[in-house]
Amino acid sequence: MSTTTLTQAERKQIVSILSELKDDGATFGRRHRRRPVRQYMWIKRLPRPDYSKAAAFKIRSEDVSLKGLGFVTRRQLAQGELVVAPLQFREGGGMLVLCRICFCRNIGDDGFRAGAEFVETLPDPNCKERIPQKWLKLAWTALPNN
């Protein structure tokens, strides 16, 4: 599976954007300000009773806030479902980011517009970390109908 590889400049830009965002209340009805960050990346859908294994697929990120990520995908995702974004940095290292799907709306031929909140992160200095067992256990109970 490929992961997103960011240049040092891209990493600095994302860190800069995140550090500029302040938890200062709603903007246009939102709890946190969004900043556009358009980039292709891979995420992993965690296994659930109706999936035999974690499935990786490509998304296009649209925006980021202090608490989450907006993106476009070809796959329909269920509200409450957990996904993992494995980030790898060009200068070395990376992280795993556990995200919970907040919504997923059909936008026609472009697929689905989804929003995910950040739940937890795990440093991945060698970019070889496996998804933690506790995250896998969460995936089985994340959806309300399980």
Which pLDDT belongs to residue 39? 83
Return the closest-CA partner of residue 122 out of 92, 85, 89. 85
pLDDT at 100 over 70: yes
What's the CATH number where 10 sits? 2.30.110.70
pLDDT at 79 over 80: yes
In a domain, 27, yes or no: yes
In a domain, 88, yes or no: yes
Show the tokens assigned to 93: 């290292």
When divided into structural domains, the chain yields a total of 1
Which pLDDT belongs to residue 1? 42
The Cα–Cα gap between 51 and 41 comes to: 22
Which pLDDT belongs to residue 46? 84
Tell which wins on pLDDT, 11 or 2.
11
Query: Domain span at residue 36?
Result: 4-141
In a domain, 87, yes or no: yes
Which pLDDT belongs to residue 4? 53
Q: Where are the beta strands (DSSP E) in 16-127?
A: 35-45, 55-64, 68-73, 82-89, 94-106, 112-123
The Cα–Cα gap between 97 and 91 comes to: 18
Query: pTM of the full predicted structure?
Result: 0.71
Which pLDDT belongs to residue 73? 95
Beta partners for 38? Answer: none
In a domain, 146, yes or no: no
Which pLDDT belongs to residue 56? 87
Strands 112-123 and 94-106: antiparallel
Query: Per-residue pLDDT tens for 116-135?
Result: 998 998 888 887 888 888 88
Query: Per-residue pLDDT tens for 42-60?
Result: 998 887 666 556 788 999 9
